[in-house]
C-alpha cells in the first residue's frame, strides 16, 4: 500500500519530548534542536483538537497537509485520567504542547473520523503532477553507485515481470524505505559492514565499511559505516488487562451484531462513534519512574486501549501478535467481555539490536535481531511501570466500572511466585508486545561519531548525492510513537534538499561569471 506504516499503524500522533530533539543537537547534529524543528511540526499540521490550553496554542499549526484530531473515547478514558490524578499525576490536555508529562486523551492523524496516511495527506493532492511517477510492486534492489567517484547515479528496481530496470538521478537519490529496508538496500548496494557484505558475496565500494574490518585487510578506510546497527525499539509487556463487571469500553460483540447498523449510519453521517476509532486506544500517559533523571523527560509511556486481547473473541489479536495456542488459552476467560488494557514501555530503551542481511536477494526479508530487554535497566523500568498499571486499576475511578485485573499466569511463568520481580521479568520476556516504534539503523551524527551513517544534512558518509530520510536516522529514539517524528524528518529533508539545490545553482552561476 502507499503511505508506509502510516497506512496501517494505530494513527496515534505524538511528537515526542522537547529534550529528545535538544539531545540530538547536543550529540553534534546542528539544526535538529526542538526550536529548530518546531516550525516543521507546525507546518505539517492541520490541528483540529479543541479546548487546547492557551499556552499550548503556539505549538500548533492549522494550514498543513496532515490533520490532527482527537479520537473517539468511551467511559474508560475519564476513569484513566481520574485514576492518574488519584496517584498524583497531572491531567495534560495537550501532550504535544508545552509539556509532555501527564495523563491525556490520544490525538490521532484523522479528520472526521477518517484515517490520514502520509499518502492521503501529501501524495493524493499532487498525484496529477507531471513530474510525479509512482511505481507499484517494484522493490528497489540496489542504489547504483559510481565506484570511481563514489556518487549515487540512480536506482535499480525489479519490475513486475521480474526484469531489472534502472532509473537515473540527475541530482540526488533519497532513500526513505524505513528502519528495516533502508539499511537492507544500503547493504545490497555495497554500503555497510564489510564482513556482513562479503558473507553474501556483495561487492563493497573500496574503503567503505567498518574501520577495524577494513584495516585487517590493509585497506585505508574512507569512512566507517555501521549500517544496520543501533536498532532501537519500544517494546513492553502485553497481557496487562482488566475486565469489567459492567458493559464499558469498546464492546466489540455489540458492534458486530445489534448495534452495527445504527453505528455505521452515525459514522457515515457524523464521522464519529466507535467505528471512527483507529485501534481502540483512547488514553496515553507520559510519566517518570524512580529511574528517571529528569522530571521533564518521562521515561515511560502508557498506552490505554478500551478493549482487551479477547473482546472480539481473539481472532484479530491472536493473529496480529502471533501468540501460541497455549499462551492464547491463558486469556480465554476474557472472550467477549468488556475491559481495557494498558501497554507500558520505556520511552528511551538502552537495549540495541541490529539488521542483518539474510541473503543478497532484496526479496529475502532481512534478519531483525531486536535484543529487546537485553539491558537490565530496561527490565527494571518496565517492572516499575507494570506496578504503576496495577495501581491504576485499583483506583476508585476504575472500581466504579467494576475493573478487575486478569491474573492468569502465562505458561512459561507459572513456576514463579506471582507478581514478584522475577515473575514480571518472565512475563515481559514471554509476552513481549512490540509497538512497531523503531529507529536508529542509519544513525545521524557528526563525522566524529563512529556510529554515524548519515551527517546532520542526512547525506550518507562517503557517498555523494545520497541521503536517507526516515526513522532510521534517529540517533536516539524519540519518547513517543514515531509517526509524527517521521513526518517532521520528511519536512526537514525537503528543506535540506531545496537549500542544497539553491546553493548548487548559485555556485554554478558564480563559476560561469568567473
Binding residues, as ranges, are: 140, 436-437
pLDDT along the chain (514 residues), means of 10: 88 96 98 98 95 92 94 93 97 96 96 92 94 91 88 93 91 96 91 78 60 46 75 96 80 67 86 84 95 93 91 73 85 87 96 92 93 97 97 96 93 95 96 92 96 97 96 97 96 94 61 52
Q: Considering only CA atoms, which of 79, 441, 382 is closest in space to residue 244?
A: 79
- Partners of 167 in the beta sheet? 155
Q: Active-site residue 291, yes or no?
A: no
pLDDT of residue 224: 60
pLDDT of residue 221: 38
- Give dist(CA 318, CA 312) in Å, integer: 10
Q: Are 366 and 272 in contact (CB under 8 A)?
A: no
Kindly report the pTM of this predicted structure: 0.91
pLDDT of residue 217: 39
DSSP, res 7:
G
pLDDT of residue 208: 53
Q: For each of the domains in the chain, give its residue range(s) and CATH number, in order of start.
A: 74-105+233-349+363-438 (3.30.410.40), 135-230+440-481 (3.50.50.60)
Whole-angstrom CA distances from 436 to 11, 232, 433 are 12, 10, 9
Among 234, 345, 427, 437, the one annotated catalytic: 437
Q: Are 8 and 178 in contact (CB under 8 A)?
A: no
Binding residues for FAD, as ranges, are: 140, 436-437
- Give dist(CA 229, CA 186) in Å, integer: 12
Q: Where are the beta strands (DSSP E) in 23-73?
A: 45-47, 66-70
Q: Per-residue DSSP letters for 326-337? A: HHHHHTGGGTT-
CA 52 to the chain's CA centroid: 25
Say if strands 241-243 and 339-346 run parallel, antiparallel, or are unpaired: antiparallel
pLDDT of residue 253: 64
DSSP, res 122:
I
Alpha helices (runs of H) in 414-482, residue ranges in sequence order:
421-430
Amino acid at each position: 500500500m502507499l503511505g508506509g506504516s502510516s497506512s496501517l499503524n494505530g494513527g496515534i500522533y505524538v511528537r515526542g519530548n522537547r529534550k529528545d530533539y535538544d539531545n540530538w543537537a547536543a550529540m553534534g547534529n546542528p539544526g535538529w534542536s526542538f526550536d529548530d524543528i518546531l516550525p516543521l511540526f507546525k507546518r505539517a499540521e492541520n490541528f483540529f483538537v479543541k479546548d487546547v490550553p492557551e499556552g499550548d496554542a503556539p505549538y500548533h499549526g492549522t494550514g498543513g497537509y496532515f490533520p490532527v484530531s482527537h479520537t473517539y473515547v468511551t467511559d474508560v478514558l475519564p476513569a484513566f485520567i481520574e485514576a492518574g490524578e488519584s496517584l498524583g499525576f497531572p491531567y495534560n490536555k495537550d501532550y504535544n504542547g508545552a509539556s509532555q508529562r501527564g495523563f491525556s486523551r490520544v490525538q490521532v492523524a484523522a479528520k472526521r473520523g477518517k484515517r490520514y496516511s502520509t499518502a492521503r495527506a501529501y501524495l493524493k493532492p499532487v498525484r496529477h503532477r507531471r513530474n510525479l511517477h509512482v511505481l507499484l510492486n517494484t522493490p528497489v534492489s540496489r542504489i547504483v553507485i559510481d565506484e570511481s567517484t563514489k556518487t549515487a547515479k540512480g536506482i535499480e528496481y525489479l519490475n513486475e515481470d521480474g526484469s531489472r530496470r534502472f532509473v537515473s538521478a540527475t541530482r540526488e537519490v533519497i532513500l526513505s524505505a524505513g528502519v528495516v529496508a533502508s539499511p537492507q538496500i544500503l547493504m545490497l548496494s555495497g554500503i555497510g559492514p564489510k564482513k556482513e557484505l562479503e558473507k553474501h558475496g556483495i561487492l563493497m565500494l573500496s574503503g567503505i565499511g567498518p574501520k577495524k574490518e577494513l584495516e585487517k585487510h590493509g585497506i585505508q578506510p574512507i569512512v566507517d559505516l555501521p549500517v544496520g546497527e543501533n536498532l532501537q525499539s519500544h517494546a513492553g509487556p502485553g497481557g496487562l488487562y482488566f475486565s469489567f463487571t459492567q458493559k464499558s469500553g469498546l464492546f466489540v460483540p455489540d458492534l458486530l451484531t445489534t448495534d452495527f447498523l445504527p453505528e455505521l449510519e452515525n459514522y457515515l453521517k457524523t464521522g464519529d462513534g466507535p467505528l471512527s476509532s483507529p485501534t481502540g486506544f483512547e488514553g496515553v500517559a507520559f510519566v517518570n519512574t524512580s529511574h528517571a533523571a529528569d522530571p521533564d523527560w518521562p521515561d515511560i509511556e502508557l498506552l490505554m486501549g478500551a478493549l482487551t486481547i479477547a473482546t472480539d473473541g481473539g481472532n484479530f489479536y491472536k493473529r496480529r501478535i502471533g501468540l501460541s495456542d497455549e499462551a492464547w488459552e491463558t486469556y480465554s476467560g476474557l472472550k467477549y467481555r468488556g475491559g481495557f488494557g494498558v501497554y507500558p514501555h520505556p520511552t528511551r530503551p538502552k537495549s540495541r539490536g541490529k539488521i542483518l542481511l539474510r541473503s543478497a536477494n532484496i526479496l529475502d526479508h532481512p534478519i531483525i535481531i531486536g535484543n529487546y530487554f537485553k539491558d537490565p535497566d530496561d527490565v527494571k523500568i518496565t517492572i516499575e511501570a507494570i506496578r504503576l498499571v496495577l495501581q491504576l486499576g485499583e483506583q476508585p475511578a476504575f472500581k466504579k466500572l467494576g475493573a478487575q485485573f486478569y491474573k492468569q499466569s502465562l505458561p512459561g511463568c507459572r513456576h514463579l511466585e506471582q507478581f514478584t520481580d522475577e515473575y514480571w521479568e518472565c512475563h515481559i520476556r514471554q509476552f513481549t508486545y512490540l509497538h512497531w516504534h523503531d529507529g536508529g539503523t542509519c544513525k545521524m551524527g557528526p563525522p566524529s561519531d563512529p556510529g554515524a551513517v548519515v551527517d546532520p544534512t542526512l547525506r550518507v558518509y562517503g557517498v555523494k548525492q545520497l541521503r536517507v530520510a526516515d526513522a532510521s536516522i534517529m540517533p536516539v529514539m524519540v519518547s513517543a510513537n514515531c509517526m509524527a517524528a517521521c513526518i517532521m524528518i520528511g519536512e526537514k529533508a525537503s528543506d535540506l534538499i531545496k537549500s542544497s539545490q539553491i546553493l548548487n545553482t548559485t555556485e554554478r552561476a558564480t563559476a560561469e561569471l568567473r
